[in-house]
Amino acid sequence: MKKYIGCDLGGTNLRAAIVDVETGAVLHQMSIPTLAREGHDAVMGRMADLFLQVIQFAGMNKDEIGGVGIGVPGVLDLEKGETLFLPNLPGTWPHIPLQATIEKLTALPTRLLNDVRSITNGEWRFGAGRGVDTVAVFAIGTGVGGGLIVNGKLHLGIGGTGGELGHTTIDFNGPRCGCGNYGCLEAYASGPAIAATGMKAVAQGLTTRLGDLCEYDLNRITPKLIADAALDGDKVAKDIYEQAGFALGIAATNICVALGPRRIVIAGGVSQAGDLLLEPIRRTLRERVHVMPVEQVEVVRSQLGDHAGMIGVACWVAGNS
């Protein structure tokens, strides 16, 4: 069985791994700085070099590699193999032929997939979504990404754009989101949104240890710092996670009603808060969902950590090439 390369194109780092798609094992991994400010041509050139190097350093030949999958942080046209809008990379990469460029530079069959859809596929195949046929993933970090497995298949929709769960509307009178809509989940539950609520609490003079913990440098308030304070019994900090979990729970309510998922997986850096975040999601589902057997829906943390996307996109290419 051939091995596959999974790549994670991040705003800071460019990572590539050789993946055994039958076991989900990462056989060899390399990481270099993305240096995104140098522009897409330079990044694509470095990416192609990285793929050839990871094959070499793994002691393999190119003919042992079945293909390359690239997890990309943004909106893509999967049919054309182009990037359309990558909000976190300078220049945003409009209509950049990433797939064709990598194929030309490496002579390896290449496919693109959204980064959180890659994580979704990885968690479903080898992580927290294993063994069930319908799964929704919320990945909470700088933004809120999403992905869906429906009836045993990664759901793509038009050009791979289906599954953007962070931009489901949870308050139609809510604030403007970066995407142009109003009241998106992302405005309530992303890492920066959680941190901003903590900053506001300190600025308002609420009774909380957050001010001491950040030494009154509000820029040092992070979701992690708020989680630490909450676990230490800080009521304000705990309420911040209650609010974010409630917002996620409302979005998850809509997903439960639409899809009847067996499992909801919470991924991304903010998911390290664990039950601080997961319990309010579970509670909101129990309170709000009455038309499907919500007690059968498990709400769990992701399991594959940093490797989920690279494993997931490698498996997806293996199953679709």
At 304, is the secondary structure helix, strand, or coil? coil
The one among 27, 30, 179, 225 contacting Zn ion by CB under 5 A: 179
162 or 260: CB nearest Zn ion: 162
The residue range among 131-139, 162-170, 229-237, 312-320 that interacts with Zn ion, by the rule CB under 5 A, is 162-170
Please say which residue, 181 or 243, places its beta carbon nearer to Zn ion. 181
For the chain, helix, strand, coil in percent to 5 are 45, 25, 30
What x-and-dash track marks residues 184-223 binding Zn ion by CB under 5 A? Answer: x---------------------------------------
Q: Give yes or no for a contact between 16 and 7, defined as CB atoms under 8 angstroms apart.
A: yes
Q: Return phi, psi of residue 59, to 5°.
A: 75, 30
CB of 69 to Zn ion, least distance (A): 26
For Zn ion, the binding residue among 40, 111, 167, 307 (CB under 5 A) is 167
Shortest gap between Cβ of 265 and Zn ion (angstroms)? Answer: 21
Taking the least distance from each CB to Zn ion, the nearer of 128 and 177 is 177
Judged by CB, which is closer to Zn ion: 184, or 201?
184
Of residues 251 and 285, the one with the C-beta less far from Zn ion:
251
Give the position of tokens 């900090």: 237
Q: How far apart are CA 206 and CA 138, in angstroms?
A: 30
Identify the CA nearest to 14 among candidates 91, 78, 61, 73: 73
* Least distance to Zn ion, CB of residue 168, Å: 9
Alpha carbon distance 210, 202 (integer Å): 7
Nearest to 22 by CA among 318, 321, 320, 248: 318
Site of interaction with Zn ion (CB under 5 A) = 167, 177, 179, 181, 184
